[in-house]
């Protein structure tokens, strides 16, 4: 899967290379930044400086809105990884 800058499909900066954990509650991947452009270099510096974290884009297939006791947002029950 590609790793995209800000989930923009025309700005690839790396790729996912290995699934570490895949359970009903968590998907944990190893990703690498590829030395392909200046943006990748800048992203690497921001990540190493702990100023920036990255996430993989997904499409929720099944979800429900959380109530106030469960926190804001949505509880995603199933998903498709897009990047």
Are 78 and 62 in contact by the 8 Å Cβ rule? The answer is yes
The answer on pLDDT for 65 being more than 80 is: yes
Q: Look at 19-23, 31-35, 50-54 and tell me which has the smallest mean pLDDT.
A: 50-54
Q: How confident is the model at residue 70 (pLDDT cuts 50, 70, 90)?
A: low
What pLDDT is attached to residue 20? 92
The answer on pLDDT for 11 being more than 80 is: yes
Rounded to whole angstroms, how far apart are CA atoms 52 and 46?
5
pTM for the structure as a whole: 0.61
């Amino acid at each position: 899967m590609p790793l995209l800058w800000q989930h923009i499909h025309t700005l690839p900066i790396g790729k996912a290379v290995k699934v570490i954990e895949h359970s009903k509650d968590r998907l944990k991947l190893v990703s690498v930044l590829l030395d392909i452009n200046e943006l990748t270099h800048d992203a690497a510096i921001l990540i190493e400086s702990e100023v920036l974290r990255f996430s993989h884009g997904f499409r929720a297939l099944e979800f429900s809105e959380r109530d106030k006791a469960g926190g804001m947002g949505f509880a995603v029950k199933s998903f498709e990884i897009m990047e």
